Amino acid sequence: HSVDSVKLAMEIEKEAAKRDIVVNILIQVNVANEDTKFGLDNSEVLNIVKEVATLPHIRIQGLMTIAPFVDDGEENRKYFNQLKQLSVDIKDKNIDNVCMNVLSMGMSGDYETAIEEGATHVRVGTSIFGVRNYAI
């Protein structure tokens, strides 16, 4: 679903080439710069996108982020807005093999705000399945 390094993209490229397929990916961005989350810093994204876009068996479809866990989803609006703007800025560059049609952001607690800010994909597993039981 998401890639957060050129190294990972290269591994996907290698495996996709063996099978002669093209793999659609999202670039994972750590918009809130949380130490506990994976993803690229906003300042790294464009250079990584340009590098990964040269791989013939990978197609960059857009961006994704996991915003901070908050009690009020509205608190994440600024992060969703930042990711949307980053997506627009990259799309405006017209980079071959990059389309920026997907914006994956928002989870059960903040998906409405994410959609308002342009999300095309949300992750709402907790709303559907309930809170995870990590004790099992």
Averaged pLDDT, 36-46:
91
Nearest by Cα to 1 from 33, 20, 23, 34: 23
pTM for the full predicted model = 0.88
Gap between the Cα atoms of 76 and 115, Å rounded: 12
Q: In what order do the strands lie in the sheet with 23-28?
A: 2-3, 23-28, 58-64, 98-107, 121-123
The Cα–Cα gap between 42 and 87 comes to 11
Work out the number of other CB atoms within 10 angstroms of the CB of residue 105.
31
Please say whether the beta carbons of 57 and 21 come within 8 A.
yes
* Rounded distance between C-alpha atoms, residue 93 and residue 100, angstroms: 11
Q: Which residues pair with 117 in a beta bridge?
A: none
pLDDT in tens, 54-102: 999 999 999 999 988 888 889 899 999 999 999 999 999 999 999 999 9
